[in-house]
Amino acid sequence: MIATRESRLALWQAEHVKALLEQRGHEVSLLGMTTKGDQILDRSLSKVGGKGLFVKELEVALEEGHADLAVHSLKDVPMDLPEGFALACVMEREDPRDAFVSNRYAAFADLPQGAVVGTSSLRRVVLLRSLRPDLKIEPLRGNLDTRLRKLDDGNYDAIVLAAAGLKRLGLGQRIRQVFEPEQMLPAAGQGALGIEVRANRADLLEILAPLAHQSTWLAVAAERAVSRAMGGSCSMPLAAFATFSGEYLQLRAAWGDPDTATALVRAQSASAAADLARAAELGTQVAGQLRAAGAH
């Protein structure tokens, strides 16, 4: 049994894992749930408890035995799981980049001064401000379909979403432009799916092992280690993105202050991260560089 949120994207992700497991001969069903993160739409996540609100009810279902595993967008998963829970595997990453979506403008550079751009991600707020301090950035909550509807209703000139979610739901045509990482560095874990189980379920760890994508797992381990070392919150104005170049894992991170217009603090490093522990060490090292340069 897979515990999942009931948004269209979350259900797509759960169905994707279900199909992969069924191909391997397992019998799988879904347990749809509405989380607190889905219910609270009038305040930013950073003010009501962070993105962990999207996973808490699913973890309760695992703990009480109503479900065996939960499928998450990894960028929604808190950096430290509660005691007794484990990340069984990280799957191959979809496009990790941010997408510019607009009905009025073909590209980000086409936005006029003072245009209204919607996002509730503090990371996107500080990165957008660093690119275009002239824009008006407004909060945008809700699932992916709700956010698109708010754009279509004329509330925003443009919105910024994860490219992965749009592509998974067959909405790639809504993307007017993708931001390259050099412009807007992605969030830790963006585009990757993680599967959470109770830590004592050795049977599930064995069943899920073939779904793991090792290079993605190493990359997101480094990214999440930056966030963990910087305070652990998914709701902080922090970007972290790692890619392999040969055997070397190259990690870049950026931090900005959402309350002031100060310049971004950036850091990067690389190492031959052959296992999760070394990948995490790389993340901790880059977080130290950020703090030394003034991030907090």
pLDDT tens for 32-62 read 887 654 554 444 444 444 555 668 888 899 8
On whether residue 186 sits in a domain, the answer given is no
Pairs from 11-17 (Cβ < 8 Å, separation ≥ 24): 12/168, 12/169, 13/71, 13/72, 13/73, 13/168, 13/193, 14/71, 16/71, 16/168, 16/193, 17/69, 17/71, 17/91, 17/193, 17/195, 17/211
Residue 237 and residue 207 share a domain = no
List strands edge to edge, sheet with 265-271. Answer: 238-245, 248-255, 265-271
**What pLDDT does residue 54 have?**
67
On whether residue 264 sits in a domain, the answer given is yes
Q: How far apart are CA 39 and CA 173, in angstroms?
A: 28
CATH of the domain at 246: 3.30.160.40
Residue 203 and residue 160 share a domain = no
**What pLDDT does residue 30 have?**
93
Residue 107 and residue 144 share a domain = yes
Residue 174 and residue 208 share a domain = no
> Rounded to two decimals, what is the model's pTM?
0.87
Q: Which candidate, 157, 158, 147, places its Cα nearest to that of 41?
A: 147
On whether residue 184 sits in a domain, the answer given is no
Number of separate domains in the chain:
3
Residue 86 and residue 3 share a domain = yes
If you compute the radius of gyration of the chain from its CA atoms, what whole number of angstroms results? 19
The dihedral through the CA atoms of 18, 1, 87, 237 has a sign that is positive
Least confident span in 12-21, 78-87, 106-115, 254-263:
254-263
**What pLDDT does residue 261 have?**
66
Give CA torsion, residues 140, 142, 146, 151, to 10 deg.
Answer: 0
Residue 197 and residue 89 share a domain = yes
249 forms beta bridges with 244, 271
Q: Which positions are annotated as active-site residues?
A: 76
Residue 165 and residue 205 share a domain = no
Domain limits for position 122: 98-179
Residue 72 and residue 195 share a domain = yes
Residue 222 and residue 203 share a domain = no
Q: Give the list of residues 6+ apart from residue 246 with CB closer than 8 angstroms, or none.
A: none
Q: How far apart are CA 188 and CA 142, in angstroms?
A: 20
On whether residue 38 sits in a domain, the answer given is yes
Asked whether 265 and 293 are in contact (CB, 8 A), the reply is yes
Asked whether 166 and 174 are in contact (CB, 8 A), the reply is yes
